[in-house]
Amino acid sequence: MDDVSIIELFFARSEQAIKELDRKYGKTCRRLSYSILNNLQDAEECVNDAYLGTWNAIPPARPDPLLAFLCRIVRNLSVMRYHANTARKRSCYYAVALDELEDCLASHRTVDTEIDEKELIQTLEKFLETLSAENRVIFMRRYWFSDSYAEIAEQTGVSEKNVSVKLTRIRKQLQKYLKERGYEI
């Protein structure tokens, strides 16, 4: 079933919409959530919560593309669950990925008081446009989907070492790019 038809089911308030959404995108959503949480039960709960969030958002929203809309909800819920889970303990693959980016984004200034969030998002989007398609995929797979080096290597057909080197170079590029635009690193 295509996305438009699924959205129409949501507008009709048919429970079939959730079933079709799960049939089409469930595997992707569970994989995304699991890559952040590293816990099947928590990932499943986040995906189910995302379906409820989607149910509540459509209507009035008509997301295009539907997958991006759904993945954003899943990711946000998974990150919130991750923070709740790790408030007591510090160990997860997601923490490693966040630590790698810390040098690029860390500042003594807070994002809330010094940087307009939309401006930073636009700057990051412009940075991503400067990358080759392969490097953009590697960056997004690591820092949006929280894929391991091994998973990225398998998806892109390069070695894990090459993924590691590329990510190091991309982070340095990002750091330079942000400094050139006035962001304190």
Q: What 3 state SS string does 4-68 have?
A: HHHHHHHHCCCCHHHHHHHHHHHHHHHHHHHHHHCCHHHHHHHHHHHHHHHHHHCCCCCCCCHHH
Please tell me the distance from the alpha carbon of residue 153 to that of residue 157, in angstroms, as a whole number: 6
Domains of the chain, residue spans: 3-86, 93-180
- Kindly report the number of other CB atoms within 10 A of residue 88's CB atom: 6
What CATH number does the domain located at 3-86 have?
Answer: 1.10.1740.10
What was the pLDDT predicted at 111?
43
pLDDT digits (tens, 9 = 90+) for 80-103: 898 887 765 555 566 666 666 666
Please tell me the distance from the alpha carbon of residue 178 to that of residue 170, in angstroms, as a whole number: 12
What was the pLDDT predicted at 26?
94
What was the pLDDT predicted at 184?
74
Residue 96 structure tokens:
């490693």
Q: Is 3-86's fold the same as 93-180's?
A: no
Would you say 44 and 31 are in contact if contact means Cβ atoms under 8 Å apart? no
Instruction: Name residues of the chain where pLDDT drops below 50.
Output: 109, 111-115
The CATH label, of 1.10.10.10, 3.30.10.20, 3.50.50.60, 3.40.718.10, for the domain at 93-180 is 1.10.10.10
Using the structure block, give the residue that is written with the tokens 């008509």.
62
What was the pLDDT predicted at 86?
74
* Residue 183 Cα distances to 73, 83, 106, 120, angstroms: 28, 26, 10, 9
